[in-house]
Amino acid sequence: MGFFKNIKEEVAIIRERDPAIHSSMEVLLYPSFKAMVHYRLAHKLYKKGRYFFARYISQRAVRKTGIEIHPGAEIGKGFFIDHGNGVIIGETTIIGDNVTLYQGVTLGGTGKEQGKRHPTLGNNIMVGAGAKVLGSCYIGDNSKIGAGSVVLSDVPPGSTVVGVPGHVVKRIKQNFPQEELDQIHLPDPVQEELTALENRLVSLEKKLEEMQLKK
């Protein structure tokens, strides 16, 4: 019964998050769906200590989908991978509820360290295409990681992170609705700094003109 319940949940999640879906039957063709079905089974075997069979199932999923989820990773409810090719999730990764990853995301380690060596993601998080979250850092609830960013340290809740290395460019207190977890409407810190400098320059030029008129 649990297996079929998981299937229904995965179908509902993909239909909710992907506007390209026209029917539940299409979901069966999605790499995200196939990867998660394999992961749920592999994870159960992993927890029972049947590591070889767990890895065998997960590696079959990699060949079929291009998505590599280590069976030791812990993934909550409402997890969705959009497209998914090139996504890698390491062994000690912990993922909360309502998390969305885009293609090319890596939740990986930084070397051969032991113990907890992969990231922990809280709830209601979006990680953009090609982003890398490395090491045992923590990503707080309601955060967005911009496409192509590289995150190596903890991220406070409600943060928007961009850049290499990633840095926080925006903080909020309320939750992000799922429909706002997009990859486009992110702050541009470089443009913001240039705009601030331009405004400062205009202000200084105006003051100089006023001083010259007073002479």
At 160-193, the pLDDT tens digits run 999 888 888 877 766 655 545 555 566 666 666 6
Give the model's pLDDT for residue 200.
Answer: 82
> Considering the entire predicted model, what is its pTM?
0.76
What kind of architecture, by CATH, is found in domain 2-184?
A: 3 Solenoid (2.160)
Does the pLDDT value for residue 1 go beyond 50?
Answer: no
What is the chain's mean pLDDT, rounded?
Answer: 84
Q: 63-95 pLDDT, tens per residue?
A: 999 999 999 999 998 899 988 889 999 999 999
pLDDT per position as a tens digit, 108-157? 988 777 889 999 999 999 999 999 999 999 999 999 999 999 999 999 99
Residue by residue, DSSP assigns the chain as -HHHHHHHHHHHHHHHH-TT--SHHHHTT-HHHHHHHHHHHHHHHHHTT-HHHHHHHHHHHHHHHS-EE-TT-EE-SS-EESS-TT-EE-TT-EE-SSEEE-TT-EEE-SSS--SS-S-EE-SSEEE-TT-EEESS-EE-TT-EE-TT-EE-S-B-TTEEEETTTTEEEEE-SSPPPGGG--SSS---HHHHHHHHHHHHHHHHHHHHHHHHHH-
Percent of the chain past pLDDT 70, that is, above it, reads: 87
